[in-house]
Amino acid sequence: MLLRFRVANHRSIRDEAELSLVSPSLRTITPPGGDWAAATTRVAAIYGANAAGKSNLLDAIDFAIGAVRKSATAWAEREVFPFQPFLLVPTEDRGPSFYEFSLVEGGVRYDYGFRCSERGVHEEWLFSYPEGRRRRLFVRHGPENVSIIFSRNLSGENAALSSLVRPRTLFLSVAANAEHKLLKMIHQNIVQQFYYARYNEFDKNFPLAMIMQQIEREDSQKNAIALPKMADIGIVGVRTETKKISARQKAILLAALGPKEVDTQALGEGQRFLTFTHATKHEADFEIPQDDQSSGTLAWLALAMPALHAFQHGGVLLVDELDASLHPHLAAALIGMFKDSEINRSGAQLVFTTHGTAFMSPESPVTLEPAEIWFTEKDADGATELYSLAEYPTRASDNFSRRYLGGRYGAIPIIDPDALSEVLGGART
Domain assignment present for residue 420? The answer is: no
Q: What percent of the chain has pLDDT over 90?
A: 57
More confident residue, 217 or 116: 116
Give residues with Cβ within 8 angstroms of 89, minimum separation 6. Answer: 14
Residue 97: Cβ-neighbour burial (10 angstroms; 0-12, 13-18, 19+): buried
Per-residue pLDDT, averaged over 261-273, amounts to 56
Domain assignment present for residue 275? The answer is: yes
Domain assignment present for residue 173? The answer is: yes
Sign of CA dihedral 53, 58, 62, 65: positive
Per-residue pLDDT, averaged over 146-171, amounts to 95
Question: Taking 60 as the threshold, does the pLDDT of residue 19 lie above it?
Answer: yes
User: How far apart are alpha carbons 60 and 43 in whole angstroms?
Assistant: 18
Pick from 93, 76, 10, 46: which is nearest to 355 by CA? 46
Domain assignment present for residue 162? The answer is: yes
On whether both 18 and 163 belong to a single domain, the answer is yes
User: How far apart are alpha carbons 72 and 68 in whole angstroms?
Assistant: 8
The domain of 340 spans: 1-193+314-414
On whether both 88 and 188 belong to a single domain, the answer is yes
Domain assignment present for residue 233? The answer is: yes
Domain assignment present for residue 2? The answer is: yes
At 21-40, the pLDDT tens digits run 999 988 888 898 889 999 99
Least confidently predicted of 142-146, 291-295, 398-402: 291-295
On whether both 303 and 319 belong to a single domain, the answer is no
On whether both 210 and 251 belong to a single domain, the answer is yes
On whether both 214 and 355 belong to a single domain, the answer is no
| pLDDT for the residue numbered 53 | 95
On whether both 10 and 135 belong to a single domain, the answer is yes
When pLDDT is cut at 50, 70 and 90, the band that residue 209 belongs to is low
Domain's final residue, options 309, 339, 368: 309
Q: What percent of the chain has pLDDT over 70?
A: 79
Preceding amide of 130 cis, omega within 30: no
On whether both 187 and 262 belong to a single domain, the answer is no
Question: Taking 90 as the threshold, does the pLDDT of residue 391 lie above it?
Answer: yes
- What value does the mean pLDDT of the chain take? 85
Domain assignment present for residue 367? The answer is: yes
Domain's final residue, options 309, 332, 358: 309
| pLDDT for the residue numbered 202 | 44
Least confidently predicted of 224-238, 303-317, 399-413: 224-238
On whether both 178 and 234 belong to a single domain, the answer is no
How many separate domains does the chain show? 2
More confident residue, 276 or 20: 20
* DSSP H or E run through 405: helix 400-405
Domain's final residue, options 291, 309, 327: 309
Cβ(33)–Cβ(113) below 8 Å: no
- Chain-centroid distance, C-alpha 370: 21
On whether both 67 and 145 belong to a single domain, the answer is yes
At 284-320, the pLDDT tens digits run 576 766 666 667 777 777 788 788 888 888 999 999 9
Q: How many residues does the chain have?
A: 429
| pLDDT for the residue numbered 364 | 86
Give residues with Cβ within 8 angstroms of 79, minimum separation 6. Answer: none
Least confidently predicted of 103-117, 264-278, 288-302, 358-372: 264-278
Q: Give the 3-state DSSP-derived string for 89-125, with helices as H, strands as E and coil as C.
A: CCHHHCCCEEEEEEEEECCEEEEEEEEEECCEEEEEE
Domain assignment present for residue 429? The answer is: no
Residue 342 maps to which CATH number?
Answer: 3.40.50
On whether both 33 and 137 belong to a single domain, the answer is yes
For residue 197, what are the CA distances in angstroms to 130, 132, 174, 358?
A: 33, 34, 27, 21
On whether both 296 and 332 belong to a single domain, the answer is no
On whether both 58 and 140 belong to a single domain, the answer is yes
When pLDDT is cut at 50, 70 and 90, the band that residue 201 belongs to is very low
